A and B are shown apart, each in its own frame.
Chain A
């Protein structure tokens, strides 16, 4: 199946100006504008760009009965807007743990984390939920779609939690599905879609809130090489449109698509190389 050509102009002009309704009690409301993220600059030099992620000396220790497992042992990392980063490493090296920290799904044991320049360590559950909703799009290995729910509804879900009106959510979900080449499948349920199509629904769901960051943990892990290729092609296009992408994988073929590869080993970064 051919991926439809996604042009920059296909995005409605309003996207760059879009701001989700701000709840003033949340620090998120004061977070820097996302405009820079969406300015479709070609991915060239990143030096002068804004940092989306700044992590300093982050550790994560799990307590397993008597034993302590040091999943992260002091990771420092800066990822700029528009970067396409792959995180690789052996099984158990801490990739998913780091991903969960970046995605605000879990709290580090120590260390600093600035997301879009805002320190998130001290935030409460509710503030973190709001940040996840507005700043981060997740793509999981096993898609994590709701069973028996049409694609359109799946994609509307984060907008629902953002408090958008039905009509606006419906409109935006339609656009996101079109963007991943599934405009015609809006009414299909997961069991009526191929694995690759399901993953693209999940990507549409991740994109629909126009996040500043797309996080993917083994996004092609459950796909065959052909459909996996479709997903990677889509990532490339998103990258070209200026999206910041962080992909966890242990497949070198997947990692090679990124322009920066970070290698983890035993909870530490052992290699960080920019390819372009």
Chain B
């Protein structure tokens, strides 16, 4: 009841000295806004990385060849892929997609680009989470009958055809005609498309007609094997099983290093998550320090305010204010200032993040979570209490007679 009336008094005094009040709150406003925005950036960046990794499938392993010396021939072959695809040996593996890729000149009439041509299986799109915008990915029949069909990435299609419709059109790769059967959606978050301008053809077409593919022990060497496991939980188990099979097939001794590399997306995700959390904690703690500095600013100005209002305090005491009345008045004034400052800081951080999120090429979204808002408000009020207490106690200690004489 009394607190409510003091809030009124506090509000009146804040409004009566708008400029001073704003300056008092400034540190806190900036502190709260920077904590929220930096934590929001941390959260947003973490989510961005997670999304990008998840977009490439977190239930997949990607195997690439690793050669000891430059010029050594790769030992990762289509035969390896076939072995991994055997459900009797690898029940944990759901699908296997070997690919051969190379950069090549791709042309539509006299419109030509350098593009990464990938020979892939019909299952590749599914495993790699490639989304078709128009038409379709090539199918198993086209794959096995080695038809010269091609699927274009969105950027490749745009470069070759501008605004014309590529579907059903013919393009030339290595001077051989290929029919466009599908165009992919533009990949989100992943910038590699702009560099590679990828296009896809059936694996054996690429091996036999486009890419001069070397052989190892009679099998075509492949650039990459992507494996999809049956269950996300099995990913680490699958990783060790794949390693065993490949080492066996490649005749590696116990002391030999792997001549291949296995990329585990799930592990990558875990690492990225840890880094993101660390970043958020770091940014958050830097922000918290700035909040503290803001709180000290409040104490500073509250002390000035107590001195400035010495004669007001003296008058209030002459009129019968108890020490507790003066204490409450200044404490509540500090609390109201801090609550107001935190609120303005919250609004500010919302505006800033809305502004940044509105920029089309901004790399990630700033995510403000309700717990961080509550935390900012709580920290703001707490610092108001802590830093408001000392000036308030100073105010109660003033002797009414000294205070009244003060001009």
B residues less than 8 Å from A106 (CB atoms): 399, 401
Interface residues of A in 119-137 (CB under 8 A from B): 125-126, 129-130, 132-134
Assess the A161–B318 pair: CB atoms within 8 A: no
B279 at the interface (CB under 8 A from A): no
Chain-A contact segment, one of B39-47, B319-327, B345-353: B319-327
A106–B401 CA distance with the chains assembled, in angstroms: 7
Q: In chain A, what residue has the closest Cβ to B311?
A: A144
Task: With A146-B312, A149-B16 as known contacts, state yes or no: A157 contacts B319, CB within 8 Å.
Answer: yes
Task: Give the residues in chain A near B321, CB-CB below 8 Å.
Answer: 129, 133, 161
Q: A161 to B400, Cβ gap below 8 A?
A: no
Closest chain B residue, CB of each to CB of A130 = B320
Name the residue of chain B whose CB is nearest to the CB of A126: B322
B73 to A: closest C-beta gap in Å: 88
Closest chain-A Cβ to B13's Cβ sits at a distance in Å of: 9
Q: Point out which of A103, A142, A146, A153 has the most chain B C-beta atoms below 10 A from its C-beta.
A: A146
Q: Are B319 and A161 in contact (CB under 8 A)?
A: yes
Interface assignment of B217: CB less than 8 Å from any CB of chain A: no
- In the complex, what residues of B have CB within 8 A of residue A103's CB? 318
Whether, in the assembled complex, B257 has its beta carbon less than 8 Å from a beta carbon of chain A, the answer is: no
Complex-state Cα separation, A157 to B313, whole angstroms = 12
With A133-B320, A144-B315, A157-B316 known as contacts, the answer to whether A105 contacts B16 (CB < 8 A) is no
Q: Give residues 310-361 of B contacting A (CB, 8 Å).
A: 311-312, 314-323, 325
Q: How far is the CA of A125 from the CA of B407 in the complex (A)?
A: 23
**Number of inter-chain CB pairs below 8 Å:** 58
What residues of chain B lie closer than 8 Å to A205, measured between beta carbons? 319
Contact with B along A159-177 (1 / 0, CB 8 A): 0111000100000000000
Report the nearest B residue to A134, measured CB to CB: B320
For A134, the chain B residues whose CB sits under 8 A away are 320
Least CB distance, A95 to chain B, in whole angstroms: 14
Task: Give the docked Cα–Cα distance between A158 and B325 (Å).
Answer: 12
> Do the beta carbons of A160 and B5 come within 8 Å of each other?
yes
Q: List the A residue with the shortest CB-CB distance to B407.
A: A142
Q: In the complex, which residue of chain A has the Cβ closest to the Cβ of B17? A: A148
Select B320's contact among A140, A149, A158, beta carbons within 8 Å: A158
CB distance from B401 to the nearest CB of A (A): 5
Q: How far is the CB of A226 from chain B (nearest CB, A)?
A: 25
**CB pair B320 A132 closer than 8 Å:** yes
Q: Is A113 an interface residue, CB under 8 A from the partner?
A: no
Chain B residues with CB below 8 A from A130, complex form: 320, 322
Contact of A105 among B312, B400, B407 (CB under 8 A): B400
- Write the nearest CB–CB distance from B14 to chain A, whole angstroms: 11
Contact yes or no, B16 A129, CB < 8 A: no
In the complex, the answer to whether B320 meets A161 with C-beta atoms within 8 Å is: yes
Do A146 and B315 contact each other (CB < 8 Å), given the known contacts A100-B401, A105-B401?
yes
B404 at the A interface (CB under 8 A): yes
The complex places the Cα of A144 from the Cα of B400 at a distance, in Å, of 13
CB A181 to nearest CB in B, in angstroms, measures: 22
B12 — nearest CB in chain A belongs to which residue?
A149
Q: How far is the CA of A142 from the CA of B321 in the complex (A)?
A: 20
Sample 10 A-B pairs with CB under 8 A, ordered by A number. Answer: A129-B323, A130-B320, A130-B322, A144-B314, A144-B318, A146-B315, A147-B16, A161-B321, A162-B320, A205-B319
Contacts A134-B320, A144-B311, A157-B319 known; 15 new A-B pairs at CB < 8 A: A105-B400, A126-B323, A129-B322, A129-B323, A133-B320, A138-B319, A144-B315, A147-B16, A157-B316, A160-B5, A161-B319, A161-B322, A161-B325, A166-B5, A205-B319
Chain B interface (Cβ within 8 Å of chain A)? Answer: 5, 12, 16, 311-312, 314-323, 325, 399-401, 404, 407
Task: Give the B-binding residues of A (Cβ under 8 A).
Answer: 100, 103, 105-106, 125-126, 129-130, 132-134, 138, 140, 142, 144, 146-149, 153, 157-158, 160-162, 166, 205, 209
